[in-house]
Structure 1
């Protein structure tokens, strides 16, 4: 796994490195050399334009420019002021060194001159604004960014694309769209979510020092980004000695007369994920519709009210079904009422592994008055519990007075309020958005996000069914729950890619995901076992 550090923690690592004998000057030189090396490895690089700012990020650019010049590359540095006028001692020194070495400079050019220069570039090295940037981009960098994005050269950003917040992943105004981002010391959360997903391109981490790995871990990463090989711990072993019961059984409780489809899709997804036996329990008026769609899955009709919503009279039936199941999913399409809230509360009190999604989460918010962290006894149980909220549902769980999470870091903060108040290893919050985090009490795991094709109605219902199946198949084990949840998210994301290949990126519907879950799981398992591909020899 790759550690992800908040920006403030990255600065702490830099301070720690200096205490271990790696000076700030040495760090800047190593950062510049790392950026220069990545530029050279792009190939066919004769002309490079380096855009520098006023701080240490600009200093990295001056070092890179001198290194490229030394390798025979035609380099020109564009800077907002004369190198001798830089206020930072270190940035000024490396700029003066580059000028003495023969690096050509262009100071404060008008727009047309900059555009003409960029037309000649094979690569643009973006060193304007670093990890300390936040807010809106000011002149002249707003104009420079527009020019960079309009040119045809390959763009490499140093540490973070200029204009992007490395912490939140938001770009308030102009932002460089890079083909590659060479980030220093560790991944930052803003590179992995929201606008960061669109503007970073390929991300390369430059550690800069042999002590970095240890110091980054000591800094207590805010999250860990998975590699496929990490999932070997939770992939199901292949065996022919199985039957439908040994593969685990899933009970899906949900649906309503108005929304039968969500529970139907969740049940189908659980079966496609590998559960040997799936049962769907839903309101009586919707049961016939469900059975028509689910030839392989039995449907149990539950008591309902006049609106076709499950009532509290279903409690005993559902609990008996849960006792015979390896895992339960509650919530998809269920709606929120006194009866459904009672049902969620009863299932929380059961001893069966449980996934709560959609209206099940909204029932949980209602049961706790939107302050779930204040009621840890509600979620504290001996069996695994996975909550799968999107940002809006997560906001409702942690309090009406708390803003809805709008970034990966705020998702992590909100999820940790829930997990840490509970304090048990049996609870994981899978906070969903364009980047998903699986947050447990010990660590947060970030699966690689799926494609934009997943942004479609019902996609979350599919994921929740898959999650319940994974719990069922691992019922006799004690898996790392956060890692298991991340594995399911990874398969879900891969299913999105396969579905997009089949029907087009804008045409994917949730049902398309269900049909390729098996292929996606096989592919993830194979890549986890053979990261570089199977040995042909």
Structure 2
């Protein structure tokens, strides 16, 4: 693995020397992923993240969504347990601290918070619930609105020792930094990793709090499509659930996400494929590294 301050390009050779765990036994050995998200208007984000987690190897999938959409989502993803959560008048998902959600968080092997969430105040409550209910060594993936919530309370992760991966886009990185990011995204990812004591995956630039850095260079313009970030967050959660450590999961996920997009270019062109079409490419991409 690279030493601190080096930036190493993620290649198949690098990944082959950093093999993913291959669990044996039943689905429990591949872990339970809980995706917390899904406002009334964006339940599809939870679907994309959840299916990506399964495609990456998770054994059990649990999804949350606004109560008004939960039944439909459960039909769309029959492999998952789907939990409807209270929703506000505007359709945001509200924390359900006294209900089933806290118990599910406590028993999950990985929690991904953010896909499809709306409402910064509601998301802050959900973030606090996740941090309170999850085990101290339960890996967390924070995406989308969860990153905005974290930017309002940056001290939440500091000193916790939690295994956390942050997946900001450039706009979300600006919220976390408190300023517009510069052109050197390697440096910005490294600053975020130190500030939040988490692994950071920023637009193909990855960093850890101890100074290790990687860059994924095969991503193309087509990944800049609605729902693509949800797929990446779920991919990460699935790899974590099967036993990968956070930096390893982040590197493998960034590569699999980018190369799955490359595989779609001959059929759909550079910018014509959809995020949901990435899902079927993930297992083949992982298997052919």
Contact 1:234 1:484 in 2 (8 A): no
What displacement does 1:523 show? Answer: 1.4
Q: Tell me the CA shift for residue 488 of structure 1.
A: 1.0
1:489 aligned to 2:244? Answer: no
CA separation in 1, counterparts of 2:267 and 2:79?
25
Structure 2 counterpart SS, 1:438: strand
CA distance in 2, matches of 1:330, 1:234: 27
Q: Shift in Å at residue 472 of structure 1?
A: 0.8
**Contact 1:312-1:338 within 8 A present in 2 as well:** no
Shift of 1:474: 0.8
Matched positions, count = 285
Residue aligning to 1:462: 231
Distance of 2:20 and 2:187 partners within structure 1: 31
SS at match of 1:312: coil
The equivalent position to 1:473 in structure 2, one of 227, 242, 259, is 242
Quick one: distance in 2 between partners of 1:523 and 1:503? 21
Whether 1:392 aligns to 2:204 is no
CA distance in 1 between counterparts of 2:123 and 2:267 reads 38
C-alpha displacement of 1:233? 4.8
Counterpart of 2:47? Answer: 264
SS at match of 1:335: coil
Question: Does the 8 Å contact 1:251/1:280 carry over to 2?
Answer: yes
- Structure 1 residue aligned with 2:205: 437
Aligned 8 A contact 2:33 2:237 in 1: yes
Q: Is the 8 A contact 2:10 2:255 kept in 1?
A: no
2:68 is the alignment partner of 1:285: yes
Q: Distance in 1 between matches of 2:92 and 2:41?
A: 9
1:428 maps onto 2:199 in alignment: yes
SS at structure 1 position matched to 2:80: coil
Residue aligning to 2:10: 226
SS at match of 2:47: helix
Per-residue deviation, 1:386: 0.4
Q: Separation in 2 of the partners of 1:234 and 1:306?
A: 47
Unaligned runs of at least 5 residues, structure 2: none
Aligned partners of 1:445 and 1:483 also within 8 Å: no
How many angstroms apart in 2 are the aligned matches of 1:471 and 1:238?
12
1:364 aligned residue (135, 150, 154): 150
Cα distance, 1:257 vs structure 2:
0.6
Q: By how many angstroms is 1:314 displaced?
A: 4.5
CA contact (8 A) 1:348 1:354 kept: no
Distance in structure 2 (CA, Å) of the matches to 1:314 and 1:290? 22
Query: How do 1:319-330 and structure 2 match up within 5 A?
Result: 319-330=102-113
Describe the superposition over 1:98-149 as per-residue Cα deviations: whole angstroms up to 9, x where unpaired: xxxxxxxxxxxxxxxxxxxxxxxxxxxxxxxxxxxxxxxxxxxxxxxxxxxx
- Alpha-carbon separation, structure 1, partners of 2:76 and 2:264: 20
Q: C-alpha distance in 1, partners of 2:73/2:158?
A: 30
Query: Closer, same or farther in 2 for the Cα pair 1:260/1:353, shift >3 Å?
Result: same
Alignment of 1:131-530 (within 5 A): 221-238=5-22, 241-314=24-97, 316-349=99-132, 350-351=134-135, 352-365=138-151, 367-368=152-153, 372=154, 375=155, 377-399=156-178, 402=179, 404-407=180-183, 409=184, 411-422=185-196, 424=197, 427-432=198-203, 436-442=204-210, 443-474=212-243, 479=245, 481-524=246-289
8 Å CA contact 1:311–1:338 kept in 2: the answer is no
Task: Give secondary structure in 1 for the equivalent of 2:273.
Answer: coil
Conserved 8 A contact 1:267-1:280: yes
Match for residue 157 of structure 1? Answer: none
Native 8 Å contact 2:39 2:117 kept in 1: yes
After TM superposition, give the deviation of residue 222 of structure 1 in Å: 4.9
> What's the TM-score, normalizing by structure 2?
0.90
> CA-to-partner distance for each residue in 1:238-280, whole Å, 9 max, x for gaps?
56x4211111110000011111111111111111111111110
What's the C-alpha RMSD, in Å, of the aligned pairs? Answer: 2.1
5+ long unaligned stretches in structure 1: 4-216, 525-537
Contact 2:40 2:93 in 1 (8 A): no
3-state DSSP of counterpart to 2:29: coil
Shift in alpha-carbon separation, 1:223–1:316, aligned structure 2, 3 A:
farther
**Length-normalised TM-score, structure 1:** 0.50
CA displacement at 1:416 relative to structure 2: 2.9
Highest relative contact order (Cα 8 Å, sep 6+), 1 or 2?
2
